Amino acid sequence: MSNLAIELNNDVIAKQTMNIILLIDKSGSMRGHKMDEVNAAIKEIINYLRALQADNANVNFDLSLMTFGTQAEWINEETINVDNYNFDDIESKGTTNLHGAYRLLNEKLLKKSQGGMMPDFGGIAPIIILLTDGHPNNGPWKKELENLETKPWFRVALRYGIAIELQDQKAIDVLNAYTSQNGEVIKVLDANILKQIIKIIVLTASKVQSTSSNTVTQGTVKKVDMVRQQIIENITDVDDWEW
């Protein structure tokens, strides 16, 4: 075989990558056991994803974390594979700059060749989980959310809003606007079960989303509906939560 032919046969075929993006409220009201549980949940999720990745020949898991307090900022602007992710506990302080979080997300839900974090071709619909315990600042979060809805990667993403020990209906409505038709708002009544909830979302989504059958963008039942249904079924057994 010629050198050129060998060049063509090299093993650079990439596994599919699932991006898991966590948007984490680190405002002052999260101080104490809520922030502790979020930190513990993230550490456990990272370990869990590492094990899942090791068992899965077809999919890699990349993680991106963003916090929003008075400012929104990425902990890592580039996605990092879970095997290489070193997580430091998040400290809570400040207010709840949700519109900043949406704006930063908007900048990154683009192809890598356009400066974003998503693949140039293919890929798997990401999971974007928004965790919060309260009402956002007065800020243009609706406008920023509308901008996000114009992004194809946001439109196909599986979106979960997790309301941590939160009963304020106005704040829940903000999460409902975020998830829209592509996910659910889960009210976690006890922060202790955060780990279980996030694990169920990630595991279920990774199993369904990594199958390759493609779907027309218009007018058909979306694959995300299948995932949502399975997540609902799987979460049912966990205590201390509500839709």
Partner 1 sequence: MLMTGSGRVIKKIFNTTSVGFDHIRRDIVCQDYSASYLDEERAIITVCDGHGGSIYLRSNRGSKFGCEALIEVFKTIDKDITIELFTPEFISQLKLKIICYWNDLVNKEFNINEDFEDIDDDFIEENLTPEEINKLSESQLERIKHHKATLYGTTMLGCVVINDLLISVQLGDGLLVYIDNEGLMHVPFIDIDDNVANYTCSLCQEDAFEHIHVDITKLENIKSVFVCTDGVVNSYQAYDKYLNNFALPITKILVNEENGEELVRNFIETLGTEKGIGDDVSLGVMIIENETTKSTI
Asked if 188 and 162 touch (Cβ cutoff 8 Å), the reply is yes
138 is an interface residue for partner 1 by CB under 8 A: no
Q: Which residue has the tokens 């205590």?
A: 239
- Binding string to partner 1 for residues 55 to 94, with x set by CB under 8 A, is what? ---x------------------------------------
Name the token pair of 44.
Answer: 């456990």
Taking the least distance from each CB to partner 1, the nearer of 40 and 80 is 80
Taking the least distance from each CB to partner 1, the nearer of 28 and 119 is 119
Q: Minimal distance in Å, beta carbon 125 to partner 1?
A: 4
16 is an interface residue for partner 1 by CB under 8 A: yes
- Return the residues of window 30-59 that contact partner 1 according to CB under 8 A: 58
Q: Minimal distance in Å, beta carbon 215 to partner 1?
A: 5
In whole angstroms, give the CA distance from residue 24 to residue 128. 11
Residues whose CB is less than 8 angstroms from the CB of residue 73 and which lie 6 or more positions away in sequence, other chains included: 66, 67, 104
* Residue among 218, 236, 237, 243 that touches partner 1 (CB under 8 A): 218
Asked if 85 and 46 touch (Cβ cutoff 8 Å), the reply is yes
C-alpha Rg value of the chain to the nearest Å: 18
* Residue among 33, 217, 225, 229 that touches partner 1 (CB under 8 A): 217
Taking the least distance from each CB to partner 1, the nearer of 15 and 33 is 15
Taking the least distance from each CB to partner 1, the nearer of 156 and 198 is 156
105 is an interface residue for partner 1 by CB under 8 A: no
- Return the residues of window 175-214 that contact partner 1 according to CB under 8 A: 209, 212-214
Helix (H, G, I), strand (E, B) or coil at 74: strand
What is the DSSP secondary-structure string of 148-179?
HHTSHHHHHSEEEEEEES---HHHHHHHHHHH
Residues whose CB is less than 8 angstroms from the CB of residue 207 and which lie 6 or more positions away in sequence, other chains included: 230
169 is an interface residue for partner 1 by CB under 8 A: no
Backbone region of residue 220 per phi and psi (left: phi > 0; alpha: psi in -120 to 50; beta: other values): beta
* Residue among 21, 52, 65, 125 that touches partner 1 (CB under 8 A): 125
Overall residue count recorded for the chain in this entry: 243
10 is an interface residue for partner 1 by CB under 8 A: yes
Q: Which residue ranges make up the site for partner 1 (CB under 8 A)? A: 1-2, 4-5, 7-14, 16-17, 58, 110-113, 118-125, 152-153, 156, 209, 212-220, 222-223
